[in-house]
Chains A and B, each alone.
Chain A
Amino acid sequence: MTGRDPTEAATDGARSDGAANDPTADGGEPRRPPTEGGAPGEPLLSVEDLTTRFHVDRVISAVDGISYELRAGETLGIVGESGSGKSVSVRSLVGLVEEPGRIDGGAVRWKGADLVGAGRRTLRSIRGAEIGMVFQNAKSAFDPTYTVGEQIVEAVRAHRDLSRRAAREEAEGLLAEVGLPDPASNLDAYPHEYSGGMAQRAMIAMSLAGEPELLIADEPTTGLDVSIQAQIIDLFRRLIREREMALILISHDLGVVSQVAERILVMYAGRIVERGTRGQILESPRHPYTRSFLESIPDVDRRKELSSIPGSPPDLGSPPSGCRFHPRCPVADAGLCDAERPPPIDFGEGHTATCHAYTDAYAGEADFEAGSERGREVTR
């Protein structure tokens, strides 16, 4: 590999087996028949109670017991603000969390095989081959001293036994597939000759080199002009349709996520607070954070009454007790929300929110009890 493959930065043995994972922690995906979306049978990816912490002078609880599943061909969006743990959570999946970060608990299974305990070589062969990765700021992900073509050819040859000539043809085909004009001459250009949008396309092309079944894209449109963002969104849609890939798209921008992902996880302070289909999350949000978040997003099509969320996201070195959103929550119940971790509430058809306001113990001001608003507490 001549290129400075971002996946090379991985450190091995980042897992601490010593720290016991609390099996009672919530965040568990409520049991449901494996029929919704995607293919039936075994999930492609299964994440269970994943807990990632950074051990600096204190312990930063970046990802705190999250669980989800992804089936072949599914598109999943993970949305949250800075510090929500969305990026660390996906880096944890493929061994890209570096010291002082450690996976302190939980399991990640890729087609049934454990990834948390997997060795460096296994992870590296899965990354880039079965799981492709795309990051923000593609330009800096390429090695400036080699042409883009040399780097993509290396990526192709790393995963497939091809001659240099055949690999170059393959690389040309990949650049054409992601919509870069004049692939042959663009292969011979250096990264600095690329615009931001072209570099992002080239990085997507490189991520396809191993013909992945899952593409993980972390803030892939952040920092790009809006016209280029729209082009990249179109490209993702086409690629997942044509290649029948699964996609995990991480973004702070709910607009970008909703344009591509059929299911959405909303993260706050290291936990999943709500999950559901795009329609469920956008049209009937249940968690107070999701509701406030939606109301704080300006709408290009009309001026609206924005409501901001008071305060700032918490310091994850000393996260709030109970529900991590309670200090900013407009309907928190003192004595409950600051004391106990909220249970997942099932609203049917895979839609859940972890919030006390839907439980019998809640005595706060939220009027979430009435009629169809009332969910069913998941019994574990």
Chain B
Amino acid sequence: MSRDDGAGPLLSVRDLRKYYPVTSGVLGRRTGDVKAVDGVSFELRAGETLAVVGESGCGKSTMAETLIGLSEATDGEVLFRGSSLTDRTDRGVRREVQMVFQDPFSTLNERMTVGRIVAEPLVIHGERTEDREGYVRDLLDTVGLDPSRFYRAFPHELSGGQRQRVGIARALALNPSLVVADEPVSALDVSIQAQILELLADLQAEFGLTYLVITHDMSVVRQIADRVAVMYLGRIVELGAVDEVFGDPQHPYTEALLSSVPRVTADPTEDRRIRLEGSPPDPADPPSGCNFHPRCHLYEELSADERARCEREDPSSEDGSGRCLACHFRPGS
């Protein structure tokens, strides 16, 4: 479903890094870094949906915040239609990129009416000064909220699904090209989640939106994304079309993660699953070499020499080509 007009990518992220200093002692000496985002590169084509998936602490949310300039990048480049997004002075470019957050309950100002919340970006940018109310009412209608009922409502009067619709209407107010959605359906019940996923798909079809969706939920990825980037400890370990990555995962982490998803099944079998042992490591003290090796089922089967390579050498792919970007032994040579 991704459209490639032959033009350049809508968004191009190159070697993006976000490090947080680790300090110690009363003097607060910088003793190291937490590499929350550690050299992430990808491109986003107009009209497609790219999902970034990973477990807690993998850096996916930090990556999104850094990418849209909410948090300053340590290094790297983010180009939107060729202009820098990380350059925080360029408002014109940044308004083209809007964000939908995970928890609609915490991101809405409880004392503002729905109409005011949705209009806020317009106020900030001084847009649509004529008939702003009419425009906002249309937006509410677009996201499936009856304006006559919701325009003057307050957030506490809304259900979770309705609040997320408000969050989406607000993100659409400035008519963006790219919407970055961080866990947009995680706080919602499954029947409501389906409504919001349907709405996001309808809006994409109607307005030609491009989505970057951050989620921990592999089933949501399968449902809405064209391509997927799997993150582990600040890096993308696999990137490709959802059908290919999910159908035939190459990186052992992707394989184990997919295998861990508790399927709805009438006949559960324990045996065909690949176990992902332990917890994700502390980003302040990552394992050497391939940072996944302590949890890797492939590593378990390797010879001593091969293991030594995993323990010593960083497997990050230099050229960034191919689907599996961070494994010494996959795809097999």
Chain B 260-271 interface 0/1 with A at a Cβ cutoff of 8 Å (1 = within): 111111111010
Residues of A within 8 A of B273 (CB): 230
Would A255 and B261 count as touching, CB distance under 8 A?
A: yes
Would A230 and B263 count as touching, CB distance under 8 A?
A: no
**A162 shortest CB reach to chain B, Å:** 31
**B220 shortest CB reach to chain A, Å:** 6
Would A282 and B266 count as touching, CB distance under 8 A?
A: yes
The contact of B193 among A259, A296, A304, by CB within 8 Å, is A296
Given contacts A255-B264, A278-B266, contact A225 B280 (CB under 8 A): yes
| A298 is an interface residue with CB less than 8 A from chain B | yes
The contact of B190 among A225, A234, A297, by CB within 8 Å, is A297
Considering only CB atoms and an 8 Å cut-off, how many residues of chain A contact the other chain? 47
Would B262 and A259 count as touching, CB distance under 8 A?
A: yes
| B257 is an interface residue with CB less than 8 A from chain A | yes
Would B261 and A226 count as touching, CB distance under 8 A?
A: yes
**Stretch from B69-77, B87-95, B174-182, B194-202 forming part of the interface with A:** B194-202
Considering only CB atoms and an 8 Å cut-off, how many residues of chain B contact the other chain? 44
* B-facing residues in A174-233 (Cβ within 8 Å): 195, 197-198, 221, 225-231, 233
Q: How far, in whole Å, are A37 and B159 apart by their CA atoms in the complex?
A: 40
**Stretch from A11-19, A59-67, A306-314, A365-373 forming part of the interface with B:** A306-314
Q: How far, in whole Å, are A308 and B259 apart by their CA atoms in the complex?
A: 26
Residues of B within 8 A of A22 (CB): none
| B275 is an interface residue with CB less than 8 A from chain A | yes
The contact of A308 among B56, B198, B222, by CB within 8 Å, is B198
Q: Which residue of B lies closest to A281 (CB)?
A: B266
Residues of B within 8 A of A302 (CB): 222
Would B262 and A233 count as touching, CB distance under 8 A?
A: yes
The contact of A226 among B55, B190, B267, by CB within 8 Å, is B55
The contact of A230 among B190, B195, B222, B275, by CB within 8 Å, is B275
Would A299 and B219 count as touching, CB distance under 8 A?
A: yes
Chain B 213-237 interface 0/1 with A at a Cβ cutoff of 8 Å (1 = within): 0001111111100000000000000
* A-facing residues in B29-69 (Cβ within 8 Å): 55-56
Would B197 and A300 count as touching, CB distance under 8 A?
A: no
| A376 is an interface residue with CB less than 8 A from chain B | no
Would A227 and B257 count as touching, CB distance under 8 A?
A: yes
| B145 is an interface residue with CB less than 8 A from chain A | no
Would B189 and A313 count as touching, CB distance under 8 A?
A: yes
Output the residue of B193, B263, B264 with the most chain A CB within 10 A.
B264
Would B261 and A300 count as touching, CB distance under 8 A?
A: yes
Would B265 and A259 count as touching, CB distance under 8 A?
A: yes
Residues of B within 8 A of A303 (CB): 222-223, 242
Q: How far, in whole Å, are A298 and B263 apart by their CA atoms in the complex?
A: 10
Q: How far, in whole Å, are A297 and B263 apart by their CA atoms in the complex?
A: 10
Given contacts A298-B197, A298-B220, A300-B246, contact A234 B189 (CB under 8 A): no
Residues of B within 8 A of A195 (CB): 279
Would A300 and B219 count as touching, CB distance under 8 A?
A: yes
**B297 shortest CB reach to chain A, Å:** 12
Closest 8 CB pairs of A and B: A308-B194, A255-B262, A227-B276, A309-B191, A230-B260, A296-B194, A298-B219, A81-B189
Residues of A within 8 A of B (CB): 81-82, 195, 197-198, 221, 225-231, 233-234, 237, 252-256, 258-260, 278-279, 282-283, 292-294, 296-304, 306-310, 312-313
> What are 17 sample pairs from A and B whose C-beta atoms fall under 8 A apart?
A81-B189, A198-B279, A221-B262, A226-B55, A227-B256, A229-B260, A230-B262, A231-B277, A252-B190, A258-B265, A259-B265, A293-B190, A296-B190, A296-B193, A298-B217, A312-B159, A312-B161
Residues of B within 8 A of A (CB): 55-56, 159, 161-162, 189-195, 197-198, 216-223, 242, 246, 256-268, 270, 273, 275-277, 279-280
Given contacts A226-B216, A298-B217, 10 further A-B contacts (CB under 8 A): A231-B277, A282-B266, A297-B194, A298-B197, A298-B220, A299-B222, A302-B222, A303-B223, A306-B223, A309-B191
